[in-house]
Amino acid sequence: MKVAFLGLGNMGAHMARHFLRAQHDVTVWNRTASKAEGLRAEGAKLAKSAGEAAHSADVVITMLADDHAVELAVLHSGGVLENLSKGGLHISMSTISVALSRKLAEQHAARGQQYVAAPVFGRPEAAEARKLFIAAAGESAAVERAKPLLETLGQRVFVMGDRPEMANVVKLSGNFLIASVIESLGEAIALTRKYGIDPHAYVEFLTNSLFAAPIYKTYGNLIADEKYQPAGFKLRLGLKDIRLALAAGEAVDAPLPFASVMRDHILTAIARGMEDWDWSSTAKLAAENAGLK
């Protein structure tokens, strides 16, 4: 299958590589072209623009940072929308707003194209190991067409509904929960450190008793190790996702009071110069508030 993959950041480069290994005909594009060189050496074709990548593709996959990047690549003149053939499929794996996902669905439908939202859960190491969890939504025929490609990337694909934005709501609500786990872990570890308890021993206890879940193990160990750089997921992107979750809630009159708290804590960390640190670094803020270094 001819696959165009747009966006080769911490996640996208690993994901595009899996399509090459699965023997697809892969064309890649990235705003910073140098990031595509490694994939070219592995057999990918390089496009000079998003539209060029989409022009001869059966399927276009976008894994871009935010709404603005997706709009530039897909909706602007010369982009994916104008160049993807009738009947072509766009799979958006980016974390974007509900509003933009709806707009993409409408614009693709008007051109006789298919659109599936399929955001992912997992950090770069999960993308590299093909252990992502994927929430997909869209018209059933489009989702069934997308599933074999999605299964190339992850350990399970969850179909969440027949409207693409449903997958985006799942992603935003999930990232809100992850941010909440990070905040509560940071506060709990700061508290136990104040009593002289070793943070690694505390995380070992938590993750092998009450909270034996991957999310607690991953972020508990990052916090115990104070390993906030290099970032697997930057704090400024976390702020973007919390803002999108709040907007999704406001659109349907569903208050998210703790998301407002998380937004303010992330803003505080960014104000202290941590915007490019991993988003688990909000735990450093909790430690500093407790008088710890």
- Alpha-carbon Rg for the chain in angstroms: 20
Residue type, 171: K
Q: Which residue has the tokens 């996640």?
A: 11
User: What is the distance between the terminal CA atoms of the chain, rounded to a whole angstrom?
Assistant: 53
- Tell me the C-alpha distance between 181 and 78, whole Å: 41
Give one word for 19, left, alpha or beta, with left for phi > 0 and alpha for psi -120 to 50. alpha
29's tokens: 């594009």
The residue from 35, 86, 103, 171 that is catalytic is: 171
Indicate if 171 belongs to the active site.
Answer: yes
Nearest to 127 by CA among 102, 91, 152: 152
For residues 269 and 235, the answer to whether their CB atoms sit within 8 Å is yes
Catalytic residues: 171
